[in-house]
Chains A and B, each alone.
Chain A
Amino acid sequence: MSQTVSNREIPIRVMLAKIGLDGHDRGVKVVARTLRDAGMEVIYTGLHRSPDQVVAAAVQEDVDVLGVSLLSGAHMSIFRRIFDLLDALPEPHRFTLLAGGVMPDEDVEELHRLGVAAVLGQDTPPESIVETVLRMVPVRSR
């Protein structure tokens, strides 16, 4: 069933992050609005964050999903760094990781191996972004 609004009692919390030397945030802002309009709480970090800042923020905000948008080509090194930081946390992290942006196929495979649950390319339509996030987060009551 295709679903574009979450209709859940408890809103899904999503953090959207831009990391490193990448000043392109039009796409990520569109995604933020799309997810908000689907009933989700979206925490946007702003541009030029470090992996450390983003991981710390995602832990503090107790998000369900962390989406990292990368158009700089540095996605492999940045995601490796993110997973190193996640491994160093005092307990396993509890959010699902998504990647967005422009990434070649072989990198997509490697990102999956690292633990990125889904990679959303540049031209992913808004509805399927919403569907992907909904699929990632199990329905819960309290």
Chain B
Amino acid sequence: MSLAPSAYMADDSDIVARVLDGEHGAIARMLTQVERRTPAVNDLLAALHHATGRAHVVGVTGPAGSGKSTLVAGLAAAYRRTGRSLGILAVDPSSVITGGAILGDRIRMSDLGSDPDVFIRSMATRGALGGLSRAVLDGVSVLDAAGMDVVILETVGVGQAEVDVISVAQTIAVVSVPGLGDEVQAIKAGLLEIADIHVVNKSDRPGADRTVAEIRDVVRHSPHREGQWKVPIQQTVASSHEGIDDLMRIFDDHAAWLAGNGARTDSHRRNAATRIRWAAEELVLGRFRTGDTAFDAAVETVVSRQSDPVSAARKLIAGPIANC
């Protein structure tokens, strides 16, 4: 019988070794632990850390309807033809009202379905975007540790939080489509600075040339230093696989450029800094909540004017940091 939920008693004591072996079931459960932020997750991630830093992490972002999933599916097929293994994390928003979500990115990735060298995971934002950022970063690390040559992170580019998420990627592609009207506005609004490659997808549509021209204009007017990566604009029609192999080659060029310029190390350093900062926030803020005895006591001292907020905060931080 498959009334499965022996699931929750399952012995996952060897999960680290099995993730390192690239076993899909173990990777999947490790990602679930990352999403749920289980008590064990920090120790498990610590045990995986030594095996990370090898994958080329590519971020693909752009507005809803720009064809990102189809593009990612095409890229994945192109990477597979070069013999590389890959992990895909597809992030979609949860409903803020019910917390539910329909995660449909797999629909476009069906051809990859049962390839043992492709691992696809859909992630919902589950409300808290700060929490999502950590889950995504950790998710990328899990796929990296599992030995994936390439990890593709797909997000809907909207706000600052998404920009933070996509920034974990070493190579970032920002996808636009002709005819959305305000696409270049959206790019100006924050994605421009982080784009390593601009993709104009659905380039068989009318207006593609104009979109390319507009992006070229924006790229040209952004500050460019000597020796810096020149941001290319690649046109694609993901649905008929046009321009996808070229796009993959640009990603590879960018990876080579990063490696040649020490920029890859910079990217790792930036990533490490972000992660330490987030971990510190979690460690410290974990105790700063109603219900914690010391915190509640501090609140009372501030309300009764025995202390002030800054002094109370200093005193709490100076105290022992809980093991979380």
* Chain B: interface residue total (CB-CB under 8 A): 42
Flag B258-289 by CB within 8 Å of A: 1 or 0 each.
Answer: 00000000000000000000000000000000
Please determine whether A36 and B113 come into contact, CB atoms closer than 8 angstroms: no
Please determine whether B28 and A59 come into contact, CB atoms closer than 8 angstroms: yes
Please determine whether A138 and B2 come into contact, CB atoms closer than 8 angstroms: no
Please determine whether A142 and B25 come into contact, CB atoms closer than 8 angstroms: no
Please determine whether B28 and A61 come into contact, CB atoms closer than 8 angstroms: yes
Please determine whether B100 and A11 come into contact, CB atoms closer than 8 angstroms: yes
CA distance A91 to B27 in the complex (A): 13
A22-46 contacts to B, CB under 8 A, are 32-33, 35-46
- The total of Cβ contacts below 8 Å across the A-B interface reads 125
Q: How large is the interface on A (under 10, 10 to 19, 20 to 34, 35 or more residues)?
A: 35 or more
In the bound complex, residues from chain B placing their C-beta under 8 Å from that of A48 are 110
In the bound complex, residues from chain A placing their C-beta under 8 Å from that of B102 are 32-33, 36, 42-44
Q: Would you call the interface of chain B mostly helix, strand, loop, or mixed?
A: mixed
A102 interface residue, CB < 8 Å from B? no
Of chain A, the residue at the smallest CB distance from B26 is A91
Flag B26-45 by CB within 8 Å of A: 1 or 0 each.
Answer: 01110110001111000000
Nearest 7 pairs between A and B by C-beta? A53-B113, A46-B107, A115-B2, A94-B7, A36-B100, A62-B28, A52-B114
A-B CB contact pairs (8 Å), 24 listed: A10-B36, A11-B94, A11-B101, A11-B124, A39-B99, A40-B100, A42-B103, A43-B102, A43-B103, A43-B104, A44-B107, A45-B107, A56-B113, A56-B114, A57-B120, A60-B121, A61-B121, A61-B122, A62-B32, A94-B29, A115-B2, A116-B2, A142-B36, A142-B39
